[in-house]
Each structure stands twice: as structure tokens, then as C-alpha cells.
Amino acid sequence: MPEIPRNPNSIHPVGWSPETQWAGIEAGEKLDFVAIYQEQRERAPVAWRSFEDGQGFWCVFNHADVVRVLDDPATFSSAKPKYGLTLIPIEVDPPDHRKYRQLLSQLINTVRLKRLEDDIRSFVRAELRQLKDGQIDLLTLTAAIPVHSFCQMVSDPNPEGFRTLHFAREATNDPRLARFDEASVAKRVAANQPLADYCTRMIAEHRAAPRDDIVSDILAGVVDGRPISGQEAHSMLSLLYIAGSRTTTAALRGAVVQLLRAPHLLGRLRAEPSLIPAAIEEIVRLESPVHALPRYATTDVEIAGQKIAKGEQVFPNYGAANVDPAVFQNPGEIDLERKPVRHVGFGRGIHMCAGVPLARLQMRVFLEELTTNVSSIVRTGEPITRMTWPHYGATALPARLEW
Ligand code: HEM
């Protein structure tokens, strides 16, 4: 582990190296992050993760501390300090956050979701038939559902281009996301260029011919009593894609992983479909598609006895909070009777996931169609591999469906 830089404010800057800790999980070994986070909590509930060049960030592991960070946007800002591009509203602080969030909450409304449900169901059924015929595999199917849903919401009649974009992004997971040196920022901007081009094209097409969809709604949006700017609209649309595609893909894959881990679950959900919403929350809790996202201390502050200096990055670990035994009994197990559900897999506070209804809808339809059409899910042997921290989605799903 690289030497931890001296921070005059630090009391016990115990280091954390996600690469080392996570490598076994990525490789599909039977390492489980419940144990990794617990061990880390015991070493230091707030740990410094350092890069070779002295940059770094704090990682927060306790549920109570993660909640504290998420509930206090004045102390823990979401606005990136040195990064030209701002994603709206996830990188916007109060008071501006609220006006964008209001617009966002009108986009994913119940009428739109109802329309989408029938469409997603037909799509999932067709994809399952293709899977049965051996034309696609589970990885493809689980990525196709969010891609299809997004294309429906932006009225993209040709999902093929977008599908390519999705798989290309999936392949470029960037563990350097917390770095702000010029090279890292340039790399991120370059990686996002195909998506930026896609959003530019979508916006131009919708300006020319408005439709009843989220792009036209964003373009018609009013912020601060003025029409939303092209740049703001572009940023919001980009975020909807970034925040909604890989996460939901990971959650759908997580559902398969959990059905493999607990073979009785499929039968139980088939017998009691009313438990599917509880299963969804447990899958999101235990799989935590996003394990952490950044905040920035706006002042010197202390968390769990660890001093953090103004300006330093702080990563609340949703994944760790979700398996904290102080809050969840048997945290590594799916428990359909768990109450109350206090997981932070969708975040919490003002930045809590704006796409929750859409994510839940996709997961529910997927699970309903699986329980209706599939008799069992069988492991085919090889390891289940994972993405690099802070993501957790499966990258290999060695499983077969039996009909
Ligand atoms: C299972 C799937 C999903 C998971 C696990 C997930 C997780 C999260 C998390 C943890 C946050 C909080 C970020 C923070 O604290 O800074 C968040 C925010 C957000 N998510 Fe999701 N998300 C999912 C699906 C979606 C979908 C389908 C969409 C929309 C298409 C979406 C759109 C957003 C947006 C716009 C935000 C920012 C909200 C704000 O800053 O006010 N997410 N999501």
C-alpha cells in the first residue's frame, strides 16, 4: 500500500485500498464484501485511500456515519471542485439543486411509468424467448432491459446505436474517478464523448420535432423562471443515462446472483408474488450497484473521531452501510421479512435516486417474468466476476435458466 500522506488534521489515517480488497471479488473468488467492510470498520470506520501522487479521499463505512454525510449537504457538498463538466442535479448543491430536482421528478411520472410497464413486459418476454433459443445470454438480457427502457423514454427508434454505446461504457469502468489531475479528467471527458454526442443528437432531433417524452419535457423545462439552457438540458439528459443504465443493469444481474445463492427464493416469489417488492429492496441493499459516490468537505469536520480537512473528498460507502451489522441482522442474507428497510442503496436525502420508480419497475417486471416462466436457475460452474470498486455489478453470470 502506498504511504499515506501526512494530513495535519488526521488523528488515525488508516488506509484503505479498494484495489487490493476488491481484487478477489473482481476475480470471482468467494470473497465477500460483507466481511471486507466489517474488517475495515474494525480497523477504522473512516479510512484514507491514497493515490501514489498524494491525491486521495476518505471512505466512510458505518451506516450511521454514511447517513450523517448524506443528510448534511451543507458540510458535505456534491459539487465537484475542479471538473469543468457538472452533472445536473447530482453535482449541484442547495439551493440550486431543488429547482432541477423538481423538474426531474415531473419526468418520471406515474402515467409514463404505466405506459412503460406494458412495453417493458413485452420486451422482457421477447428477450426471454431469445435466451431460451440460445440467441442471447443473461449478461446481454440484463443490459438490454435498461437500454430498452431508456430508449423508450427518449423516443429513440433505433436502440442499436445506444446499445453499442452502453456496452462500450460498461467496458470502461474507471477506478480513477476520484482523481482530478488533468490527465484523469481528460480521460473521463474522452470516455464520455460518445454519450455526449448521443445526447447532443437527441436534443437536436427533439428541438426539431418535440414528442411526448422526457427529452422534450426537459427542453420545455423552466428553471428560476427562465427556459432551461441547452447546456443544462444536455447535462440532465447525460446524467439520466449515466445514473440509470449501469446501475439498473447491475441490479438485474444482482437479482440473478441472489436467486443463484438462495435457490429457494425463486419458488418463494412464485408462490408469493406480493414479496417481490421486498425482494427488490433486499437485492438493491445486498448488491448495492453503486458502492460509493463522492462528497467534498466544505469545512473542517470530524467523523467517528477522524478529522477531515476542508476541501477533502469523502466517499460515503452505501455498500458498506447496507451490510452494517449495527443496523442489519444477518447482513449478508436476503431477508424478505426485514423491517424497517433502512438501506441506502438508492442513496438518501436530497440526492436520493430520482430514478427509483423506474429502477423498481424494471426489476419487478424482470422478477415477475422470471418467476412466471422459469422453473429454476442453475449455476453452470465458473466464477461470478464483478466490476471494480466502487461498482459491484456482475461481469460474468455463469448460469442457465430451466423452463
Ligand atoms: C437499481 C438501480 C439504481 C441504483 C442502485 C441507483 C442508485 C443511486 C444512488 C446511490 C444515488 C445517490 C447519489 C448521491 O448520493 O450522490 C442516485 C441518484 C440518482 N439516480 Fe439513481 N440508481 C438507480 C437507477 C436509476 C435510474 C433508472 C435513473 C433514471 C433513469 C436514476 C437517476 C438518478 C438521478 C438523476 C440521481 C441524482 C439525483 C439527485 O442528485 O437529486 N437512477 N442513484
Residue 137, CB-side half-sphere exposure with 13 Å CA sphere = 8
Model confidence over 11-37: pLDDT tens digits? 667 888 888 888 888 888 887 889 999
The rounded Å distance from CA 6 to ligand 1 centre is 34
Which atom in ligand 1 lies closest to the alpha carbon of residue 104?
35
Higher pLDDT, 184 or 220: 220
Going by C-alpha positions, the residue among 90, 113, 104, 106 that lies closest to residue 362 is 113
DSSP letter at 275? G
What pLDDT is stored for residue 15 in this prediction? 86
Please give the residue that has the higher pLDDT: either 83 or 340: 340
CA-proximal residue: ligand 1, atom 12 (nearest): 347
For 306, phi then psi, to 5°, come to -100, 125
pLDDT in tens, 251-281: 999 999 999 999 999 999 999 999 999 999 9
Length in residues, the chain: 403
What is the chain's percent helix, strand, coil content, to nearest 5?
50, 10, 40
Q: Amino acid identity of 86?
A: T
Q: Which residues pair with 296 in a beta bridge?
A: 77, 313
pLDDT at 167: 62
Tell me: pLDDT of 170 over 60: no
Residue 91 has pLDDT above 70, yes or no: yes
For residue 369, how far is the Cα from the chain centroid?
23
Model confidence at 40, pLDDT cuts 50, 70, 90, reads very high
> Can you tell me the distance from the alpha carbon of 172 to that of 256, in angstroms, rounded to the nearest whole number?
23
Which grid cell sits at 25? Answer: 471479488
Nearest atom in ligand 1 to 289's CA:
5
Predicted local confidence at residue 136, as pLDDT:
87
| E strands, 278-368, in order | 295-297, 301-303, 306-308, 313-316
Nearest CA owner, ligand 1 atom 1: 248
Centroid of ligand 1 to alpha carbon of 121 (angstroms): 22
The pLDDT assigned to 174 comes to: 53
Superfamily of domain 18-402 in CATH is Cytochrome P450 (1.10.630.10)
Q: How confident is the model at residue 215 (pLDDT cuts 50, 70, 90)?
A: very high
Residue pointed to by grid coordinates 411526448: 212
Residue of 195, 247, 288 to mutate, ligand 1, most atoms within 8 A of C-beta: 247
User: Using CA positions, which residue lies closest to atom 20 of ligand 1?
Assistant: 353
| Ligand 1 centroid distance, CA of 354 (Å) | 6
* Domain assignments of the chain as residue spans, ordered by start: 18-402
Instruction: Find out whether the beta carbon of 78 lies less than 6 Å from any atom of ligand 1.
Output: yes
Does residue 359's CB lie within 6 angstroms of at least one atom of ligand 1? yes
Whether 64 shows a pLDDT value over 80: the answer reads yes
pLDDT at 7 over 50: yes
**What confidence tens digit (pLDDT) does each residue in 292-303 have?**
999 999 999 999
Ligand 1 pocket member 345 (CB < 6 A): yes
Tell me which residue of 320, 313, 317 sits closest to 56, measured CA to CA. 313
Residue 244 has pLDDT above 50, yes or no: yes
Return the residue whose CA atom lies nearest to atom 27 of ligand 1. Answer: 244
Q: Which atom of ligand 1 is nearest to the CA of 318?
A: 10
Is the model's pLDDT at 374 over the cut of 90? yes
Query: What region does 225 belong to: left with phi over 0, alpha with psi -120 to 50, or beta?
Result: left
Strands (E), 12-167: 46-50, 56-60, 76-77
CB 216 within 8 A of CB 206: yes
Distance CA 394, CA 381 (A): 15
Alpha carbon separation from 251 to 158, 209, 262, 363 (Å, rounded): 25, 34, 16, 8
Amino acid (one-letter) located at 308: I
- The pTM (predicted TM-score) of the whole model is 0.93
